[in-house]
């Protein structure tokens, strides 16, 4: 007598939904792990990236020479410089006191510091008070667009003007 294995009629039909469910769970797990890895990498990147601010730029434009008529002595408070125009010569003198860094104001005789009373002449030389050094002069150039550009990273010899 010969015995033959017979397949139950619904055997594959019962396994197919389980296999689909396992495959779906596998995909969901994979996507979850992949998403977690991406999120973790992004978070680490944000954490590692420095958030330092370096203050305002030290090189900036202040406008066209025509905006500063001869005789101008104009303090740009936010830039901490005084723009000077004498005839066709221009300069930028620091308004940061060389004593402890207060902002000096323009006075009849030059500059005056409100904090501890230092006085400077119109060229920034110390004439009184505790300031140890004269006010620095910064390089002024004409940018390609015709505007004046001040570079506070470039100190120049006092009395060195830009000739227009």
Q: Does 135 bind ligand FES (CB under 6 A)?
A: no
Which residues have a Cβ under 8 Å from the Cβ of 83 and sit 6 or more positions away? 62, 68, 72, 73, 74, 75, 76, 90, 91, 92, 148, 150
Distance CA 65, CA 146 (A): 8
Does the protein bind ligand FES through residue 126 (CB under 6 A)?
Answer: no
Question: Minimum Å distance from CB 133 to ligand FES?
Answer: 11
Stretch touching ligand FES by CB under 6 A, among 6-14, 50-58, 61-69, 93-101: 93-101
- Note whether 83 and 69 are within 8 A (CB): no
H or E segment and range at residue 155: strand 148-156
Contacting residue, 62, 90, 92, 131, with ligand FES by CB under 6 A: 131
Per CB under 6 A, does 136 bind ligand FES? no
Chain residues binding ligand FES by CB under 6 A are: 97, 99-100, 102, 113, 115-118, 129-131
């Amino acid at each position: 007598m010969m015995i033959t294995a017979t397949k139950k009629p619904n055997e594959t039909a019962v396994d197919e939904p389980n296999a689909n469910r396992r495959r779906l769970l596998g995909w969901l797990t994979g996507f979850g792990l992949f998403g977690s890895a991406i999120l973790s990498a992004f978070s680490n990147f944000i954490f590692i990236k420095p958030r330092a601010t370096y203050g305002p730029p030290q090189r900036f434009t202040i406008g066209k020479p025509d905006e500063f008529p001869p005789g101008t002595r104009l303090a740009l408070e936010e830039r901490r410089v005084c723009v000077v125009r004498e005839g066709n010569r221009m300069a930028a003198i620091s308004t940061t006191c060389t004593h402890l860094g207060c902002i000096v104001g323009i006075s009849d005789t030059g500059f005056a510091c409100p904090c501890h009373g230092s006085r400077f002449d119109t060229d920034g030389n110390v004439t009184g008070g505790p300031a140890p050094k004269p006010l620095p002069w910064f390089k002024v150039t004409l940018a390609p667009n015709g505007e004046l550009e001040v570079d506070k990273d470039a100190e120049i010899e006092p009395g060195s003007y830009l000739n227009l």
